[in-house]
Each structure stands twice: as structure tokens, then as C-alpha cells.
A = this chain, B = another copy of it.
Amino acid sequence: MAKKTPDTEIKARIYNAARRLFVEKGYYQTSIPDIVKEAGVSIGAIYHHFSSKEDLARVIHQDALAQFLDRYDRHVESVVRAEDKVRGFVRFMFEWADEDLIMVNYLLHGRPQEILEYNFTICSAEGLEAVKKIVVTGIEEGTFKKGDEVLMAAFISGPIMRLIELKTDGIITAPLSSLAEETAEYILAALKA
């Protein structure tokens, strides 16, 4: 149940083709004709369902973001202890990547720069905030050392993103979720008081 199901079959074909191509080749390297070929639809169909190429990217991005926030709420926000927040964060990101690697990559890398500006992304300053909140909780709890919060946050998001990249590049072949516990323990080893 990873993907939002768009209203019509054709819309779904466009959506999925675009998502895949944006991640594989990059937003700017993907042309409308590319999407036409990949989705097997007409140019007109694309512009009937989406107002522009950028809009298409934005809709996908918003879906990806909504999924991220939903999972973040369930696995991080609603959890009390910082250690469990870290475990939850790692676990949901890896499970999500196993379910829908394209969507996770879309959130990390697949959209045009223009979208970055008016949207939260896990790579952006706002994305950092989400992770920083975990760090702050841990420090307040006394579980984590006192240290530079930004630097500490980089020890949560950095390895997670790097491992998702390695999975994407085919260097890691096992399901990422099988590495979740070990990854969380390394992060905690780095951060714990």
C-alpha cells in the first residue's frame, strides 16, 4: 500500500512512469516524450491530468512527503524515548525503501530544484529539523551526549541516506530492513552518553 492510487488508469500510468524516470534519469533529463513512451499515453493525456511537467513532479513529491510524514508520526513522533525514536526512524525508512525504493529516492533526489524551495524535504533544512528533534529529545532525556545538535543529527540521517543509496546502486542486495537493528545500534553507539 505504498503508492497513492490515482483516479484513473491512465493517470496512474503517467504518474508511475514519471516517478520512475525522474528517479532513474533525473527530472531535467526526463522529457515529456520520454514519459509518453514509458507510459504508453499521448502528450495530451499528460497535460489533461497534470498542468505541467513541474506540476507532475510536485504531485509526486507531495505524495512522497505525505507518506514520509505519516510514517514519521507513527514511528517517531508517537514514541517516547529517544532510543526508540532512532530505532523507529531507521526501521520505517528501511521498510519504506524495501517497499517502494523509487518513492524514497524521489523524496531524496528526484525532484527539480524549483520544488525544493517551497517544500519540506528530508535533505533540506526543514528535513533536518525533524531529525534534530530526535537529538534534542535524547539530550534532554540524558540518553545522548551533549554535543553539536546538527552534527549529531548528521549521524542519524547520513548513514541512513548512504545505505539507501547503496541499496539503490545495487551494492547492497539484502533487504534494508534486515540491517535496521544493526544500523540503529551503530547510531546509538555514536550518540549515547
When the two chains form the complex, which single residue of B29, B165, B182 contacts A147, counting CB atoms closer than 8 Å?
B182
18 A–B pairs (Cβ distance < 8 Å), ordered by A: A26-B113, A123-B165, A124-B169, A128-B166, A150-B163, A150-B171, A151-B182, A151-B186, A152-B186, A154-B159, A154-B162, A154-B163, A155-B155, A158-B158, A158-B160, A158-B162, A186-B191, A189-B191
Main secondary structure of the interface of A (DSSP, over half): helix
* Chain B nearest CB, measured from A156 CB (Å): 9
Give the number of times this chain occurs in the complex, counting copies.
4
A125 is an interface residue with CB less than 8 A from chain B: yes
When the two chains form the complex, which single residue of B113, B124, B159, B165 contacts A155, counting CB atoms closer than 8 Å?
B159
Q: A148-B182, A151-B159, A154-B159 are in contact. List 18 more A-B contacts (CB 8 A).
A: A26-B28, A28-B28, A29-B113, A123-B165, A147-B182, A147-B186, A150-B163, A150-B166, A150-B171, A151-B182, A154-B163, A155-B186, A158-B159, A158-B162, A159-B159, A186-B190, A187-B190, A189-B190
A59 is an interface residue with CB less than 8 A from chain B: no
Binary per-residue interface labels of chain A (130-174) against chain B in the complex, 1 for a CB within 8 Å, 0 otherwise:
000000000000000001101110110111111101100101100
